[in-house]
A and B are shown apart, each in its own frame.
Chain A
Amino acid sequence: MKEYIYYPGCSLKAGSKHYEESLLPVFKELGMELEELEDWNCCGATAYFSVEDTMAAAICGRNLSLAEKIAKNIIAPCAGCYLTMKKSNQFLTSGHEKAEKILEGLKKVNCEYKGTVKVIHPLEFLTKEFGLDKIKENVKRKLTGLKVASYYGCQLVRPYTDFDDADYPVAMDNLIRAIGAEPVDYSAKTRCCGGSLAGTLEDIGVNLNYVLLKEAKRKGADVIVTICPLCQFNLEITQDKIVKKYKEDVKMPILYFTQLMGLALGISKDDLGFSRSIIPLKAMWEKIGNGGANE
């Protein structure tokens, strides 16, 4: 029985490849090879639960069942998957009549689920289980001088988890400090980016992400780091439109926390997916050096 199995989710295989490209090397550097769950399916995200709830919980049940056969914990880096799978996990093990029926259905297709799997996020794992002290020991290159706005978004801390505060979490800020960078007091850290609305309803995307970027700029951040593929995407693709609408220079790189962590652990910047950034990273490299290996 393995302790952990990796559930990438659809985004990490498509538009957010650089999340996976930085997550796996970071775990490897810390001595953990993450093994991917065989034939996992989409968690259903917010869309499935908006249309139908029995099947929505059932498809998460399939993932939980596949994982239960080989591991105790699922590591889910996408905040959307994390929330959806935790929500479904709680429901399926609630003893509710409807949940029992879904479990029956799962059993029929050889996907029996006993309810032993725990869904955890890599940030939760790194800061709580692995520990900041051990991360500090592994830092080869402190990111001194880099000011970072830690953006948690909404799905990671609400409401099916108790891993950090729902409005003002600090786990990522502590991690940023552990790798030598400086977290800014980012008051918009859990304000919503618009999720799946931002891509299709332009006005909403532009307005919501303007607030997030402006607050990060106001606090003097050089970059925003995030833990969610959709947040990363929305914060990046809205920047040109925001500059055009509000005539304010709010542009800044939007990175995954694992990309900065990888740099600090001494992994070459070429192996951390930085080339997938739509926003130029020149100013950041000037501030922290060129991102080569050990200095």
Chain B
Amino acid sequence: MEIQSKVKFEEELDKDFLNEIKELSFSEEISRCIQCGTCSSSCPLVTYMDYPPRKIIAMIKHGFKDEVLKSFTPWLCASCYSCQVRCPSNIKITDIMYTLKREAIKKNIYPSKFPIPALAQEMHKLIAKNGRNSELWVVLNMYLRLKNPFGPLKMTSTGINLMKTGRLSLKKEKIKNRKQLRSLLKAVTEEAK
């Protein structure tokens, strides 16, 4: 095991991180966090997180960029917005979690063996291509991406139940005007530059 310092000195922190996140999530309010912990106590997934939401906000404020972007917390956010609607300082916590996910992907430092970012990216890919989501294919592609060919076996009983009730579709759904969708994605990417 490599010995690492457990304390970060001020010089090692990323002072621009707070402003970056503010800008990317349209959330000036982060500075107003009073560390009350309403977000953490409202979060149904908090027990699984490496850093609770309250701590994530504190770490953003103080520039712990690397720790925040590598954290599992944003990926465990199920986007239920419970924290966001309860925050007394009106901080858009869920939207900030989305920003952290996007930044972690952009910098390629997200937990790559974790299913959730794999699921998000596979779904994103399929929608961009076909214009529609196809549940079964997204899940299969996710396990392929994770190099876990036996993963789908865990879902056998669910699959059988869905099949019995006519709810499992093998079809890849597609919109008709995929050309327009492709041009749109290209156009907005160019506009955004």
- Whether B119 contacts A58 by the Cβ 8 Å rule is no
Interface residues of A in 77-117 (CB under 8 A from B): 96, 98, 101-102, 104-106, 108-111
B120 within 8 A of A: yes
- Whether B157 contacts A154 by the Cβ 8 Å rule is no
**Stretch of B3-11, B29-37, B174-182 on the interface side:** B174-182
A-B contact count (CB 8 A): 189
B123, B131, B175, B180: the one within 8 Å of A47 (CB): B123
B85, B119, B168: the one within 8 Å of A166 (CB): B85
B59 within 8 A of A: no
Known: A47-B120, A158-B80. A191 touches B127 (CB 8 A): no
- Whether B176 contacts A39 by the Cβ 8 Å rule is yes
Determine the residue in chain B with the shortest Cβ distance to A40: B175
| Interface bits A24-64 vs B (CB < 8 Å: 1, else 0) | 00000000000000011110111111111111001100100
Point out the residues of chain B lying under 8 angstroms from A42, CB to CB.
Answer: 127, 131-133
Point out the residues of chain A lying under 8 angstroms from B78, CB to CB.
Answer: 46, 154, 192, 194-197
| Interface residue range, chain B | 35 or more
- Whether A51 contacts B169 by the Cβ 8 Å rule is no
Known: A53-B102, A109-B180, A196-B119. A191 touches B44 (CB 8 A): yes
A111, A200, A237: the one within 8 Å of B142 (CB): A200
| Interface bits B100-117 vs A (CB < 8 Å: 1, else 0) | 011001000000000111
Point out the residues of chain B lying under 8 angstroms from A208, CB to CB.
Answer: 44-45
Point out the residues of chain B lying under 8 angstroms from A240, CB to CB.
Answer: 157
| Interface bits B137-159 vs A (CB < 8 Å: 1, else 0) | 00100100000000000110110
Q: How far is A194 from B44 in the complex, measured between Cα atoms in Å?
A: 8
Q: How far is A58 from B155 in the complex, measured between Cα atoms in Å?
A: 33
Q: How far is A47 from B134 in the complex, measured between Cα atoms in Å?
A: 13
* B contacts with A: majority SS: helix
| Interface bits B149-193 vs A (CB < 8 Å: 1, else 0) | 000001101100110111111000101110011011101111110
Q: How far is A166 from B176 in the complex, measured between Cα atoms in Å?
A: 37
B135 within 8 A of A: yes
A15 within 8 A of B: yes
A14 within 8 A of B: yes
Point out the residues of chain B lying under 8 angstroms from A196, CB to CB.
Answer: 78, 116, 119
- Whether A54 contacts B188 by the Cβ 8 Å rule is yes
Known: A53-B98, A58-B185, A102-B188. A192 touches B119 (CB 8 A): no
B19 within 8 A of A: no
Q: How far is A17 from B162 in the complex, measured between Cα atoms in Å?
A: 11
Point out the residues of chain A lying under 8 angstroms from B169, CB to CB.
Answer: 13-15
Q: Smallest Cβ distance from B173 to chain A, in angstroms?
A: 7
- Whether B180 contacts A96 by the Cβ 8 Å rule is no
| Interface bits A200-220 vs B (CB < 8 Å: 1, else 0) | 111010001000000000000
Determine the residue in chain A with the shortest Cβ distance to B43: A192
Q: Smallest Cβ distance from B20 to chain A, in angstroms?
A: 14
Interface residues of B in 75-96 (CB under 8 A from A): 76, 78-82, 84-86, 94
A159 within 8 A of B: yes
- Whether B135 contacts A15 by the Cβ 8 Å rule is yes
Interface residues of A in 1-19 (CB under 8 A from B): 10-11, 13-18
- Whether A51 contacts B124 by the Cβ 8 Å rule is yes
Determine the residue in chain B with the shortest Cβ distance to A62: B184
**Stretch of A173-181, A249-257, A271-279, A283-291 on the interface side:** A271-279
A124 within 8 A of B: no
A167 within 8 A of B: yes
- Whether A192 contacts B80 by the Cβ 8 Å rule is yes
The 7 A-B pairs at the shortest CB distance, nearest first, are namely A105-B188, A154-B80, A192-B80, A47-B123, A158-B81, A105-B187, A41-B131
Return 8 A-B CB contacts under 8 Å, by A number: A40-B175, A42-B131, A44-B124, A46-B120, A49-B102, A54-B192, A192-B78, A208-B44
